[in-house]
Structure 1
Amino acid sequence: MSLKAQIDAYNVQKEAKLPADVLALMDTTNEELIAQHIKGNALQIGAKVENFSLVNHNGESIELNDLLNKGPVIVSFYRGSWCPYCNLELKALNDYLAQFKTQSAQLIAISPQLPDETLSTKQKNELDFDVLSDVCNKVAEQFGLLFTLDERIQALYTQFGIDFEHYYGDKSFKLPLPATYVINQEGVITYAFLNEDYTLRAEPIDIMAALESEQN
């Protein structure tokens, strides 16, 4: 099943479970975020990515340049383990990991979650790749993905029991746009999927196609 089909199935469940006014608020604030065109300021295909280093779920320092020495790198920015769309995406990427490796590709996922929550994300989703902790969103900002959650959504998520200070160590309510990149060994972006609509995610099969095209 494609990732889109999984997301569509989740959306049906969400619409059946949540009150109409909550769904309407989610739709309204999502449309307003899309209208901001944040992705227009983010890194795109052809951009050179500066080296960065982040701590993974085991507390180990992972450096982009070290990964690029082994092959192309797939970078997936996600919001947090509380986000069902992010969990669906991470699992879908994990299912494709063996295929990515046929192209010598390394896969990493990045969120502003604290290291303990990053470890929880890896364990909960049974992920076989490095999950990195970008506390304070420094790398997300480097990629131009950073935005602040609408105050109405902040209040709604708080009602849902999502404690941002617990996950991120602060209450800035700053998050990265969900985004997926392929970076070649020269450090140049060859594939980019990013959208202000958090319900839309990159299909692993499209990432795979981008990796294969690099070899041709």
Structure 2
Amino acid sequence: MSLKAQIDAFNVQKEANLPADVLALMNTTNEELIAQHIRNNALQVGDKIENFILANHLGKNIELADLLNKGPVVVSFYRGAWCPYCNLELKALNDFLPQFKTKSAQLVAISPQLPDQTLTTAQKNELEFDVLSDVGNKVAQQFGLLFTLDKRIQELYTGFGIDFEHTYGDKTYQLPLPATYVINQEGVITYAFLNEDYTLRAEPSDVMAALDGENK
């Protein structure tokens, strides 16, 4: 099943289970975020990536330059373990990992979660790739993906039991737009999927097609 089909099925469940006023608030704030056009200022195809070093879910430092020495790199930015869309995407990418490896590609996921929370994400989803902690959103800012969660959504998520300070180590409510990039061995972006609409995610088969293009 495609990632889109999984997301569509989840959306049906969400609409059936959440009150109409909650759904309306989610839709309104999502539309307002889309209208900000944050992605227009983010890194795009053809841009060169600066090197970065982040700790993975096991506490080991992972450097982009080291990954690029092995092959192209797929980078997926996600919001956090509390986000069902993120979990669906991470699992879908994990399912494609054997295919990515046929192109010598490395896969990493990045969020501003604290290391303990990142470990939980990796274990919960049985991920077989590095999940990195970008505490303080320094790398997300480098990519131009950073935004501040709407105050109405902050309150809603807090009501759902999401503890942002426990998850991220602060209460700035800053998150990266969900985004997926393919970076070639020269450090240049060859594929970019980013959207202010957090319900839309890159299809792993499209990422694979981009990797196929890298190896032609």
Same fold, TM exceeding 0.5?
Answer: yes
Give the ranges of 4+ consecutive aligned residues of structure 1 lying more than 6 Å apart after TM superposition.
Answer: none
- Map of 1:181 onto structure 2: 181
Shift of 1:28: 0.2
Partner of 2:106: 106
Q: Which aligned pairs between 1:3-82 and structure 2 lie closer than 5 A? A: 3-82=3-82
Give ranges in structure 1 of 5+ residues lacking alignment.
none
Superposition deviation, residue 9 in structure 1:
0.2
**Residue 127 of structure 2 is aligned to residue 127 of structure 1:** yes
User: Helix, strand or coil: the match of 1:199?
Assistant: coil
Aligned partner of 1:158 in structure 2 is: 158
Say yes or no: does 1:96 pair with 2:62. Answer: no
Deviation (angstroms), 1:200: 0.2
SS at match of 2:165: helix
- Structure 1 match to 2:169: 169
- Report the CA distance between 1:188 and its aligned residue: 0.1
Matched residue, 1:201: 201
User: Deviation at 1:215?
Assistant: 1.2
SS at match of 1:205: helix
1:16-60 deviation line (CA, Å, top 9, x unaligned):
000000000000000000000000000000000000000000100
Q: Hey, what's the Cα distance between the residues in 2 that align with 1:13 and 1:50? A: 40
**Which residue in 2 is equivalent to 1:2?**
2
State the 1:164 CA deviation: 0.2
Where 1:135 maps in the other structure, the secondary structure is coil
Question: 1:210 Cα shift?
Answer: 0.3
Counterpart CA distance in 2 for 1:153 and 1:210 is 34
Give CA deviations for 1:139-170 in whole Å, capped at 9, x if unaligned. 00000000000000000000000000010001
Aligned residues: 216
Across the aligned residues of Structure 1 and Structure 2, the Cα RMSD in angstroms comes to 0.3
For 1:166 and 1:42, locate their aligned partners in 2 and report how far apart those are by CA, in whole Å: 28
What TM-score comes out, normalization by structure 2 length? 1.00
CA displacement 1:45-96 (0-9 Å, x = unmatched): 0000000000000100000000000000000000000000000000000000
Identity %: 82
Following the alignment from structure 2 to structure 1, what is the Cα–Cα distance between the partners of residues 149 and 57?
Answer: 25
Distance 1:162 1:61 in 2: 28
Question: 2: distance between equivalents of 1:58 and 1:150?
Answer: 32
> 2: CA distance between counterparts of 1:73 and 1:214?
11
Q: Distance in 2 between matches of 1:206 and 1:156?
A: 33
Q: Distance in 2 between matches of 1:24 and 1:127?
A: 33
Partner of 2:147, secondary structure, is strand
Amino acid at match of 2:55: V
Give structure 2 stretches of 5+ with no counterpart.
Answer: none
| Distance in structure 1 (CA, Å) of the matches to 2:170 and 2:18 | 27
